[in-house]
Amino acid sequence: MSMLLVQALNGLQFGVLLFLVAAGLSLVFGVMDLINLAHGVQYMLGAYVAATLGVWTGSFWLGALLALPVALLVGLALEWLVFRHLYRRDHLAQVLATFGVILTVEEATRALWGSAPQTVLEPSGLTGGPMGGVEIVPGLLYPTYRLVIIGIGIVVPLLLWFLVERTRAGMLVRAGATHPAMVSALGVDIRRLFTVVFAFGAMLAGFAGALASPIFPVAPGMGDTVLILCFVVIVIGGVGSIRGAFIAALLVGLLDSIGRAMLPDLLRLLLDPSAARQTGAALASMLVYIVMATILFFRPAGLFPGGRAA
Amino acid sequence: MTAPFRKTFRKHGLALVTLLALAAAPFFGFGDGFALSLLARAMILGMAAVSLSLLVGGAGLVSLGHAATMGIGAYAVVAFDAAGVSEGLIVFPAAIAAAAVYALVTGAVSLRTSGVHFIMITLAFGQMAFFTTSSFSSLGGDDGYTLYARTEWLGSRIMDSRLTFHFLCLGLLALVWVGGTLLLGSRFGRVLRAARENPQRALAVGFQPYPYRLVAYVMAGAVGGLAGALLANATEFVSPALLSWTRSGELLFMVILGGVGQLGGAILGALAIVLLEETLSHLLVYWRLVFGPLLVLSVLFLPDGLVGAPLRLRAAFRFASPKRRSADA
């Protein structure tokens, strides 16, 4: 039972990270109709920059904070160099050009940091000793840092919701998503709006990467895994819907974590141990996709269809 | 040249010339083992790219998971090998059928969506196949499986000769290309194209696009399976990396680099990408630092691909030359 609780918390924390990446992806798609495969690259860069700056400054949190402007700048640079020229092109061209960006940036990462994973220690004060964990049920410690991530993951979506639903900038973003030509005709510089939204999404992904750096191996391919799961999140949640993305991200995170922990054990009731381990591992990594296929079969537009009118 | 012949040549000339060059290559300096295995890889990937081009260019279905069908074909070969079966008459049909069944099941779900959803879902299914193959611990799991003997045909080991294998791949590539081109020109292909151009109008005329698209998707999957079975024989090694999503991206690139409008473009694109990768990776350690930007630039500046490049140049030239313009007017 306590095992299930720990896995559920791990799943929540993974889901929250997925949301931070998927939110940017969904916003960029919703507002600009741009499918950006290179969004995972921002997540990866966030992790690398946080790792390096964390060592330089001697503080994990300082490194993670400094990763934000770096991710923002890289996002702006990429938007200026590549993505800006893709808004009017079809999705196919967007997929391919952003695929080229992934190859380039991942190779640059390999050249700069090497192929071996970087190790990042969980921030001091939150790790080791009695400070290392919080007793969630009697006799069970759960790492404080992971709880902090869950906390951040609850605060950021609320801020995002406020920003999109209750501010003037958010109103423009929503209007730009459904009626870009009309917004432009009303005198809003839609180009600048695009750039701002893009940079903001890049920053969120970079932040997620920085938060994830002590938990997951920081390696060149880390962005791809997250990116593909984020696509699953967006497809399940409904393209362009922030609320859908949040619920789907938690669902995917929970399914993935609990599936990986429980399926091999469950199958052991039916099969012999080695077969159970093999089938269980395969089923667990497929679980998310099976759920996605099932949801799509009944609701092709996702759980919360929204976004573009055109 | 008579007019219809000229028209055909203009449309398919580049692909024909490429195929002829591939046929002549072993006798003009590309006959050594290294060059032949490189060309074989290019032709096999070209086959997969042609089948993907049928989907992308013909039906307007941008699949980002086509490498999975290739991987399934390749894994069928090694699965039979592990079971001690290497007879081509069993292995190849099974590989093709396995890939076709995968395409049927995933296509039935994916084709309910369109546009970006379709791209993401095919990607997700491709990823699913990738994780499945890496969990096959009896076939090497993540480390892959080395194929010690190529597939036999009625007990004879004809595929062991690199030259025979070269022409086998070339023949199949030509067959896939001609078959695909005829298919696109047929009534079936016209329905596909109509549904791509305007699904609502196609529906109004009385064609439900879904079954046509599904059949095309399964056919492309079957060709992908064939290419995978050949690739397993060409490289004599199969690993989950074959199904990685970057491989699907690469296939898509071959299609686009060649030019979406014509199936033959995919052959040219495959050849260009394989040769470019090979050359760059010999010259540089971090060769993708050059390869990646080249891909981005080709998307930005060659929207019609390599096949369209001469026409584009000619159009630019015609526009620049006032004499020709006034003559046309």
Phi, psi of A141 (to 5 degrees): -95, 140
What's the pLDDT at A309? 36
Residues paired with B237 in a beta bridge: B146
Residue B189, in any domain of the structure:
yes
Residue A224, min C-alpha distance to chain B (Å): 9
Please provide the DSSP assignment of B193-220 as one string: HHHHH-HHHHHHHT--HHHHHHHHHHHH
Q: Do residue B286 and residue A108 have CB atoms under 8 angstroms apart? A: yes
Residue B118, in any domain of the structure:
yes
Please identify among residues 100-119 of chain A the ones whose CB lies closer than 8 Å to any CB of chain B.
100-108, 110-111
For residue B79, CA distances in Å to A33, A308, B26, B82, B224 come to 43, 46, 32, 5, 17
Inter-residue contact B124 to A292 (CB < 8 Å): yes
**Average pLDDT, rounded, for chain A:** 84
Please name the amino acid found at residue B23.
Answer: A
- Closest residue on chain A to B260 (Cα): A92
Is B239 or A121 the better-scoring residue by pLDDT?
A: B239
Per-residue pLDDT at B249 exceeds 50: yes
pTM for this entry: 0.86
**Nearest to residue B254, comparing CAs of B278, B273, B240?**
B273
Per-residue pLDDT at B204 exceeds 70: yes
Domain interval for residue B27: 19-328
Q: How many domains, in total, are found in chain B?
A: 1
The domain locations on chain A are 2-298
- Closest residue on chain A to B126 (Cα): A289
Average pLDDT over residues A34-63: 89
Mutate to test the interface with A, among B64, B130, B248, B257 (most CBs of A within 10 A): B64
Per-residue pLDDT at A188 exceeds 70: yes
| Angstrom distance (rounded) from CA B205 to CA B190 | 13
Ranges of beta strands (E only) in chain B are: 145-146, 237-238
Per-residue pLDDT at A28 exceeds 90: no
pLDDT tens readout for residues A116-142: 888 777 776 555 444 466 777 777 778
What's the pLDDT at B327? 42
Comparing A14-23, A114-123, B225-234, the range with the smallest average pLDDT is: A114-123
Residues of A in contact with B136 (CB under 8 A): 278
Residue B5, in any domain of the structure:
no
Confidence of residue A42 (pLDDT cuts 50, 70, 90): very high
What's the pLDDT at A306? 63
What the block records as the tokens of B288 is 């993708």
State what percent of residues in chain B have pLDDT above 90: 46
pLDDT tens readout for residues B251-272: 999 998 888 878 888 999 999 9
Output the CATH code of domain A2-298: 1.10.3470
pLDDT tens readout for residues A245-262: 899 999 999 998 888 888
Q: Do residue A293 and residue B125 have CB atoms under 8 angstroms apart? A: yes
Residue B11, in any domain of the structure:
no
Confidence of residue B4 (pLDDT cuts 50, 70, 90): low
| Angstrom distance (rounded) from CA B157 to CA A225 | 41
pLDDT tens readout for residues B282-305: 998 888 899 999 989 988 888 777
What's the ipTM? 0.83
What's the pLDDT at B319? 60
